[in-house]
Structure 1
Amino acid sequence: MPHFRSAFLAALSLTIAQGAAAETPAATPASASPALKVELNAADTTEANCKLTFLITNELSAPLDKAVYETVLFDREGTVNRLTLFDFGELPVGRPRVRQFVVPQTTCENLGRILFNGAQSCDGAGIEAGTCESALAPATRTEIEVLG
């Protein structure tokens, strides 16, 4: 009987310790890097064109007066379809914006991947060179892969 009691007490102690650990808040990162979140939210084919809808949130420390990205569109087989510029315009801090771009003579079903190749321009007071590239956080809600 003493062996059963020892095992029971050990199990009870372990359960209490696990419960206390679960109540302890998880460590949070010291400070997350500011980001420029660019999400491909929708891709719709209209006639023979692909309309891409992006949701952009500027989490940088300053508003952007202009953000233009060189973008590479790939087909489903991985071949470059075209290089183009996506001008996201003015992006205030912390306020999501939606931008749409029509890609002519291409259906969305033909697109497999979008690559943000680099920032062609990134202007804003206090914005350092390279910020729009280093802070880019691409995402997608579609079947089209988005990379940056």
Structure 2
Amino acid sequence: MAPAAVLLAGLGSMARAADPAVSIELSTAEQVGEACLLSFVAQSDHAQDIGQAVYETVLFDAKGQVARLTLLDFQDLPAGRMRVRQFQFPYACDAISRVLINGATTCTGGADLPEAACSRGITLSSRTDQELLG
């Protein structure tokens, strides 16, 4: 490949990597009585605020089987600002092996918010023993 083509290919991949997206981190899993409180840190890198982001989410048990399919309402995600959202589930935290973000069921915002802004290019990570997948 010619040097100019290599440079252009590299710039193209950098542009794709810089596309705005939502990132969600599973920050903590805390046992509260008989329930597990999952804390998520979410941030939108879009130029426009997301008015409401609701994600279809699946919890897997310790055997890897589906334990619960639910909707998590992350509410508003202001552009470039971090938000912490907490959700409580009637399980012991060590009984939850994985959390799957199946996709966004609701993603609202201004007219300039790109289509699929809540799900396209989403970045998922976990600081807990539970894996966060998408």
Answer yes or no: same fold by TM over 0.5: yes
Instruction: Identify the match of residue 93 of structure 2 among 104, 108, 122.
Output: 108
Gaps of 5+ in 1: 1-26
* Distance in 1, Cα, partners of 2:38 & 2:68: 15
Gaps of 5+ in 2: 1-9
Question: 1:30 aligned to 2:14?
Answer: yes
Question: 1:80 aligned to 2:73?
Answer: no
Aligned partner of residue 119 in structure 2, secondary structure: helix
* Distance in 1, Cα, partners of 2:64 & 2:57: 15
Aligned to 1:146: 132
TM-score of the aligned structures, taking structure 1 as reference length: 0.77
Instruction: Identify the match of residue 105 of structure 2 among 107, 120, 124.
Output: 120
Q: Which has the larger radius of gyration?
A: 1
- Higher strand fraction (1 or 2): 2
- Higher helix fraction (1 or 2): 1
* Distance in 1, Cα, partners of 2:114 & 2:19: 14
Question: When the two structures are aligned, how many residues end up with a matched partner?
Answer: 121
TM-score of the aligned structures, taking structure 2 as reference length: 0.85
* Distance in 2, Cα, partners of 1:35 & 1:128: 10
Residue pair 2:38, 2:88 contacting (<8 A) in 1 also: yes
Percent identical residues: 41
Residue pair 2:53, 2:76 contacting (<8 A) in 1 also: yes
* C-alpha RMSD of the superposition: 1.5
Aligned to 2:34: 48
* Distance in 2, Cα, partners of 1:33 & 1:147: 20
